[in-house]
Amino acid sequence: MMVHHWTELDLDNVCARVKVFGFDLDNTLASSKRPMAPEMTQRFISLLDRIPIALISGGSMEVVTSQVLDQLGDEARREQLHVMPTSGSRYYQWNGSQWSLIYAHDLDAETVRVVRSSLEKHARALGLWEEQVWGPRIENRGSQITFSALGQYAPVEVKRTWDIDNTKKQALVRAVSSDLPDLRVRAGGYSSVDVSMYGLDKAYAVRRLAQMLSIETNEIAFVGDRMSADGNDYPAVAAGAAGIMVREPQDTLALMDALLACLDTFGVER
């Protein structure tokens, strides 16, 4: 599957055939664990006026709510928004007054205990149990357990430089995978490792969304910053979605302006 930076794409072609735009959250719509900036919120609401959006994030519903949902004003067409936290292993729709949980694939209590134990054991053995952290190292997101080496709320600039070549995360992935052969262990963000059931990733989210909306996966475009073959956004592309790469939220802003102009040219309002 080919992935291109948005400036290399024929956006007219994309807008003509795509029925849903999916977006990653961290470092795509907003900086890690920070709310969307006002200018991003404005574009996001404008895009919702024109086409459905799927928000597919590795983060929990609580994080998605604080970064995105709480930023939306009363004018936002929430019924156009599909909220799929923890890589799509949970799905929420707006019922007119609140976000309603449609499905969830949560890990049982014993599995959570075993995963936590393995993550801590191997992180300590590999020297990845950092002394200075910002928030919890291990978070139970229901359907996913996430290890954050620097804590959930570490500054983005610190996260970026912690594991530039991905060797630390991949070492932890290999070690934990040996303990948990029945679970999927993969690198997440700049300093995180995610553990979930096999088959529950952004590929699952794209396929499930297409099924629920009675569309083809290639009628979904997915925008993300980690689109390399080992990135946590790439599975959406592997499932058939059109992959659109951005580098940071400022890049996404420029893309959104281009998409809004493109959709208006086609007269798209769905």
Residues 157 and 98 reside in one and the same domain: no
pTM: 0.82
Residues 23 and 94 reside in one and the same domain: yes
C-alpha torsion 183→188→192→197, nearest 10: -20
Domain boundary among 181, 197, 213: 197
What is the residue type of 29? L
**Is the predicted pLDDT of residue 6 greater than 50, yes or no?**
yes
Residues 224 and 189 reside in one and the same domain: no
Question: What is the arithmetic mean of pLDDT over 212-217?
Answer: 96
> Which residues does residue 224 pair with via DSSP β-bridges, in sequence order?
245
Residues 186 and 95 reside in one and the same domain: no
- Nearest-angstrom CA–CA distance, 201 and 125: 28
Give the annotated binding-site residues for Mg(2+): 24, 26, 225
Domain boundary among 197, 219, 249: 197
Kindly provide the residue ranges of all beta strands, DSSP E only, lying in the chain, ordered along the sequence. 3-5, 20-23, 53-56, 81-84, 90-94, 99-104, 138-140, 144-148, 183-187, 192-197, 220-224, 242-245
Q: At what angle do helices 109-125 and 167-179 cross, to 10 degrees?
A: 130
**Is the predicted pLDDT of residue 119 greater than 70, yes or no?**
yes
**Is the predicted pLDDT of residue 113 greater than 50, yes or no?**
yes
Q: Is position 24 annotated as part of the catalytic site?
A: yes
Give the CATH number of the domain where residue 246 resides. Answer: 3.40.50.1000
Residues 100 and 160 reside in one and the same domain: no
Domain boundary among 163, 197, 231: 197
What range does the domain containing 114 cover? 109-197
Residues 220 and 95 reside in one and the same domain: yes
Given 12, 24, 182, 230, the catalytic residue: 24
Q: Can you tell me whether residue 139 is helix, strand or coil?
A: strand
> Which residues does residue 26 pair with via DSSP β-bridges, in sequence order?
30
Question: What is the arithmetic mean of pLDDT over 130-137?
Answer: 95
Give the annotated binding-site residues: 24, 26, 141, 192, 194, 225
Give the annotated binding-site residues for alpha-D-mannose 1-phosphate: 141, 192, 194
Residues 124 and 232 reside in one and the same domain: no
Q: Which of 73-82, 92-101, 136-145 has the lowest mean pLDDT?
A: 136-145
Average pLDDT, the chain: 93
Total count of domains within the chain: 2
Q: Which residue has the higher pLDDT, 232 or 148?
A: 148
**Is the predicted pLDDT of residue 216 greater than 90, yes or no?**
yes
Residues 208 and 100 reside in one and the same domain: yes
Q: Which residue has the higher pLDDT, 31 or 208?
A: 208
Residues 20 and 113 reside in one and the same domain: no
Residues 97 and 50 reside in one and the same domain: yes
Q: Is position 106 annotated as part of the catalytic site?
A: no
Residues 62 and 177 reside in one and the same domain: no
Residues 171 and 228 reside in one and the same domain: no
* pLDDT per position as a tens digit, 242-270: 999 999 999 999 999 999 999 988 665 44
Which pLDDT score is estimated for 257?
Answer: 97
Give the CATH number of the domain where residue 132 resides. Answer: 3.30.1240.20
Which pLDDT score is estimated for 22?
Answer: 97
Given 12, 26, 163, 264, the catalytic residue: 26
Which pLDDT score is estimated for 2?
Answer: 73
* pLDDT per position as a tens digit, 15-61: 999 999 999 999 999 987 789 999 999 999 999 999 999 999 988 89
